[in-house]
Structure 1
Amino acid sequence: MADRPIGVFDSGVGGLTVLRALRSALPDERFIYLGDTARLPYGTKSGETVTRYAEQAARVLVGRGIKLLVVACNTASSVALGHLAAVFAPLPVIGVIEPGAAAACGASVSGQIGVIATEGTVRGGAYERAIRAVRPAAEVVSIACQLFVALAEEGWVSGPVAEAVAQRYLANVVGERPALDCLVLGCTHFPVLRQAIAAAVGPRVRLVDSAETTAEVVVECLLRSDLRAGHRTRGQDGAGQAGVRFLATDAPARFARVGAVFLGEAIAPEDVELVDL
């Protein structure tokens, strides 16, 4: 079991920010990443639809013999995590909501925490519940920032368009809450827009990205379950990228081009396998 890969899925390429953190924390592990690019975004869809999509994506990864599943999609984590854990038990299933909430609780001094996410994540209220489970007195304000997903997918992560959208979403909210000192980037697409978001909220608000915290939780789970891989020579497992196989449900060439922004390195289009869910 320890030699099996870790499965990671998202509605598109945003989850590659989580994969990036996982690879950094676990250099000896192999990964399979699936981006459901044919059906993104998940954030505007009903909880029932997202749950169905998430189970279909997870089944593809489980069929590839994974040892652990990371749901690198905030919307799917917010509505489908419990369902996936029950359906695929005893496979460990880890989402990004609880690690992000824990990081926010640790980062905020005032206890006033903002969450920016997709419509689906905000509607489900998962971040508010997770934050208050750790810090009951916390005051949480959630803002749906759906256009950030489109900007990230188009690669418009800086410049006047990104800055104007961030200002429209965030400037008034932060201005009306002077004690708000922490903002959770509650969608895996949002970290690549960090510069524009930071400019909109100002230096007093700390930005929290759940990717690194999620990687820490995965490390703990592997150690606890005795599933940590032993040392291996990276790049000698048949994957095009060192230790990673990429799957996409549509447009592999676009996945490779846009995904490079999120992963922080080039992805060869021929290394992206087209799959049908």
Structure 2
Amino acid sequence: MTAGFTSTALRRLPIGVFDSGVGGLTVLRALHERLPHEALLYLGDMARLPYGSKSPQTVSRYALQAAGMLVARGIKLLVVACNTASALALDDLRAAFPQIPVIGVLEPGAAAACAATRSGRIAVIATEGTVNGGAYTRAIHAIRPDCEVSAAPCPLFVALAEEGWHDGPVLEAVARRYLDPLFATIPPDVLVLGCTHFPVLAATLAAVVGPQTRLVDSASTTAEAVRETLRETGLGAPSSDTTPTVHYLTTDTPERFARVAAGFLPAALHPREVELIDL
């Protein structure tokens, strides 16, 4: 574990969370709801988003830099709140930071999808990098080899989510263009939202695919995985800590981060609450 801290001080360290932008705030929100005693440190690498269209080597380099910044600040656990980085850089991150648990969003999402499906047919929507790398298919087949997995990249969903277009005719038209081919023959009964931006679009996506298809949100399943890891390792914050901090970092302007974050958080964020950093 992190050196130089007593047991109680270690437990009071924040959970570090990073994403290429603000999509990981869906994970942060789920963590805050399920673990109200935990301090949280969030880094949105908005200057270099999206990760989904970058090469695996670039994604790994960016992820190691973002994680290194959080580890240097002092964290007890790292959450990779980016499906692309989880798919392409998780092994590198665990090798680079063996002193702390590292949890990605992909494995919990795959496990939840396998538990939810009745027919064995699962569809995954994500960024190009996540889909092209086949990480979700491998993770699902590692748990349920019998499952039939289809996947489609949906890059415009990221832009629409960040612009605050969480519903309306434009989003519905784009959703039908992306999803109709996945549901054209025998439809899946589970749709994995394989990008942390996508949960804010869930109401429209659910309406497009219909009630027979269950949506799996990697944010909530990741929060459960973090809670279990804290329990197993004894790293959970003392229950007496009733006012934990949530601190935000970004590599782009705090004003832009706060504006876009408004669509992902329950309350407005002021730019002065966001620290500008350079990686």
Q: If the length of structure 1 is used for normalisation, what is the TM-score?
A: 0.95
For residues 164-190 of structure 1, what are the alpha-carbon distances to aligned partners after superposition, in whole Å with 9 as ceiling and x for unaligned? 100100023212223x10000000000
Q: Is the 8 A contact 1:111 1:137 kept in 2?
A: yes
Native 8 Å contact 1:71 1:96 kept in 2: yes
Q: Which amino acid aligns with 2:263?
A: V
Q: 1:269–1:232: structure 2 CA closer, same or farther, 3 Å change rule? A: farther
How far apart, in 2, do the equivalents of 1:24 and 1:70 lie? 16
Deviates more, 1:164-173 or 1:26-35: 164-173
Match of 1:209 in 2: 217
Q: Which residues in structure 2 correspond to 1:249-268 (within 5 Å)?
A: 249-268=251-270
- Percentage of pairs with the same residue: 64
Corresponding residue SS for 1:262: coil
2-side partners of 1:193 and 1:251: how far apart?
A: 25
User: Do 1:234 and 1:243's aligned partners in 2 also have CA atoms closer than 8 Å?
Assistant: no
Distance 1:265 1:171 in 2: 34
Structure 2 residue identity aligned to 1:167: R
State the partner residue of 1:149.
Answer: 158
Q: Secondary structure at the match of 2:262?
A: helix
Alpha-carbon shift at residue 260 of structure 1 (Å): 2.0
Counterpart of 2:195?
Answer: 187
Moved runs in structure 1, 4+ residues, more than 3 A?
Answer: 232-235
Residues 55-204 of structure 1 correspond to what in structure 2 (within 5 A)? 55-178=64-187, 180-204=188-212
Question: 1: CA distance between counterparts of 2:159 and 2:216?
Answer: 21
Q: Which residue of 2 aligns with 1:272?
A: 274
Counterpart CA distance in 2 for 1:266 and 1:206 is 30
Instruction: Check conservation: 2:120, 2:146, Cα contact below 8 A.
Output: yes
- Please give the per-residue CA displacement for 1:39-78, whole angstroms capped at 9, x wherever unaligned: 0000000000000000000011001100000000000000
Following superposition of structure 1 onto structure 2, how do residues 11-30 of structure 1 map, counting pairs within 5 Å?
11-30=20-39
In angstroms, what is the RMSD of aligned CA positions? Answer: 1.0
Give the C-alpha shift of residue 234 in structure 1: 4.1
Question: 1:263 corresponds to which letter in structure 2?
Answer: L
Letter in 2 for 1:5: P
Shift of 1:263: 1.9
Counting matched residue pairs gives 270
Other-structure match for 2:51: 42
Structure 1: gaps spanning 5 or more residues: 236-241
Q: Distance in 1 between the 2:247 and 2:21 partners?
A: 15
- Rounded to whole Å, the distance in 2 between the matches of 1:257 and 1:177 is 41
Indicate the SS of the match to 2:129. helix
Q: Determine the structure 2 residue equivalent to 1:220.
A: 228
Return the alpha-carbon distance in structure 2 between the equivalents of residues 42 and 68 of structure 1: 22
Cα deviation, residue 210, structure 1: 1.1
C-alpha separation in 2, matches of 1:185 and 1:75: 12
Report the counterpart of residue 7 of structure 2 in structure 1: none
- Aligned 8 A contact 1:256 1:267 in 2: yes
